[in-house]
């Protein structure tokens, strides 16, 4: 059979369709190369990710809210470039060893308050619950953002080798939950409670006995009578972690409106993280701060009204007013620790004055 093609025929002129096909072919080749180049770092990092070990102050039931969603979101968004392994209270190291363990690199990061983990800074007493320093959870981030506490924290930890302070946020208010009722200051006398250091020190002047135990042992200690209750949290946590099941009474008078907790990292571990992942971690922290604001704010109100596990008690206002007044003296004692501590106390005073003058909705009385 003869070849039907005409050897002398000229190539057909290129149509718009064929031009478009050629363009797509060339573009596809280039895009594939670009995609390969763009995904190469991810492909590498998925086999060699940066790995951190982060331990929180909280046990697993509480950690499911105060940090687990954040770490899961970060690991997903990090696209294989970094992975954070989350550990709960006392799983790797004891809570009072958190700071030292982070400083020496045994763990890479920590979520805790300054006082509970015994940070070697002169402002550690203001971490956790500082009596009557806040009324609402929103007070705390405002103090850090607009009143200069962020600068003070960065300054204090900047003097400590091997540790980076990253961010502070608010948790729940501090209430006292007990097996036997508290209806007066006299009822506090002799009651052994699990609580954070600074608030515990303040409440001890009314006979309350602060006791330190591993977080996971608290429920059993209340059941066996080793503890009479807790002065560690608000209603949301008490119900979430099981303490409302072993305590019969909840005191409505709260010592402060928000727990002050922070995120920290080992300096070498932090510096090994590229800038874009540092920013991603900070964004995930902000997301966690927001989550807690909503979870605690809604939970506290709902459980006070609808919670049936504990009977509500209250110390009369005229008696509780003496406690509020005593806090002024306590503030003065802690202001004497150092000039920097005095600056923090002055910030609390200035902020309180502004809120009281602002009135509704910032302060109702």
Mean pLDDT calculated for residue range 329-337:
97
Question: What is residue 44's predicted lDDT score, i.e. its pLDDT?
Answer: 44
Domain residues of the chain, as ranges? 49-174+255-358
Domain 49-174+255-358: CATH architecture, name and number where available: 3-Layer(aba) Sandwich (3.40)
pLDDT above 70: percentage of residues in the chain: 87
Q: Which residue has the tokens 């025929």?
A: 9
Question: What is residue 182's predicted lDDT score, i.e. its pLDDT?
Answer: 98
Distance of CA 228 to the CA centre of its chain: 27
CB 337 within 8 Å of CB 122: yes
Mean pLDDT calculated for residue range 7-12:
45
- Residue 43 burial (CB count, 10 A): 10
Strand-pair partners of 169: 261
The pair of structure tokens assigned to 233 is 């949290």
Question: What is residue 48's predicted lDDT score, i.e. its pLDDT?
Answer: 86
Write the secondary structure of the chain as one string of H (helix), E (strand) and C (coil).
CCCCCCCCCCCCCCCHHHHHHHHHHHHHHHHHHHHHHHHHHHHHHHHCCEEEEEEECCCHHHHHHHCHHHHHHHHHHCCCCEEEEEECCCCCCCHHHHHHHHHCCCCCEEEECCCCCCCCCCCHHHCECCCCCCCCCCHHHHHHHHCCHHHHHHHHHHCCCCEEEEEEEECCCCEEEECCCCCCHHHHCCCEEEECHHHHHHHHHHCCEEECCCHHHHHHHHHHCCCCEEEEECHHHHHHHCHHHCCCEEECCCCCCCCEEEEEEEHHHHHCCCHHHHHHHHHHHHHHHHHHHHHHHHHHHHHHHHCCCCEEECCCHHHHHHHHHHHHHHHHHHHCCCHHHHHHHHHHHHHHHHHHHHCCCCCCC
Global pTM reads 0.86
Question: What is residue 31's predicted lDDT score, i.e. its pLDDT?
Answer: 40
In the structure, what pLDDT confidence band is assigned to residue 364 with cuts at 50, 70 and 90? confident
Q: pLDDT digits over 107-143, tens only?
A: 999 999 999 999 999 999 999 999 999 999 999 999 9
């Amino acid at each position: 059979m003869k070849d039907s093609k005409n050897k002398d025929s000229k190539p057909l002129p290129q149509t718009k369709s064929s031009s478009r096909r050629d363009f797509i072919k060339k573009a596809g080749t280039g895009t594939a190369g670009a995609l390969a180049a763009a995904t190469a770092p991810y492909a590498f990092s998925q086999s060699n990710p940066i790995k951190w070990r982060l331990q929180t102050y909280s046990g697993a039931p509480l950690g499911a809210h105060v940090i687990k969603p954040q770490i899961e979101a970060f690991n997903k968004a990090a696209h294989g470039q970094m992975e954070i392994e989350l550990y709960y209270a006392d799983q790797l190291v004891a809570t009072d060893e958190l700071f030292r363990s982070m400083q020496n690199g045994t763990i890479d990061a920590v979520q805790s308050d300054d006082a509970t983990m015994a940070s070697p800074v002169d402002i550690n007493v203001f971490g956790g619950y500082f009596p009557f320093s806040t009324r609402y959870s929103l007070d705390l981030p405002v103090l850090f953002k607009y009143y200069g506490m962020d600068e003070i924290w960065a300054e204090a930890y900047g003097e400590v080798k091997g540790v980076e302070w990253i961010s502070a946020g608010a948790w729940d208010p501090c209430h006292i939950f007990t097996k036997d009722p508290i209806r007066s200051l006299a009822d506090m006398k002799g009651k052994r409670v699990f609580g954070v250091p600074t608030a515990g020190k303040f409440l001890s002047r009314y006979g309350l006995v602060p006791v330190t135990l591993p977080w996971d042992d608290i429920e059993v200690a209340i059941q066996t009578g080793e503890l009479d209750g807790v002065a560690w949290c608000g209603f949301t946590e008490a119900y979430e972690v099981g303490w409302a099941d072993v305590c019969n009474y909840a005191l409505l008078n709260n010592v402060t409106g928000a727990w002050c907790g922070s995120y920290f990292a080992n300096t070498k571990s932090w510096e090994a993280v590229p800038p874009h992942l540092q920013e991603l971690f900070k964004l995930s922290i902000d997301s966690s701060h927001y989550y807690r604001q909503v979870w605690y704010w809604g939970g506290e109100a709902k459980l006070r009204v609808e919670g049936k596990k504990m009977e509500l008690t209250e110390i009369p206002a005229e008696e509780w007013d003496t406690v509020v007044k005593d806090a002024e003296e306590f503030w003065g004692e802690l202001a004497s620790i150092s000039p920097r501590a005095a600056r923090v106390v002055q910030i609390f005073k200035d902020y309180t004055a502004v809120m009281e003058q602002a009135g509704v909705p910032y302060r109702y009385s």
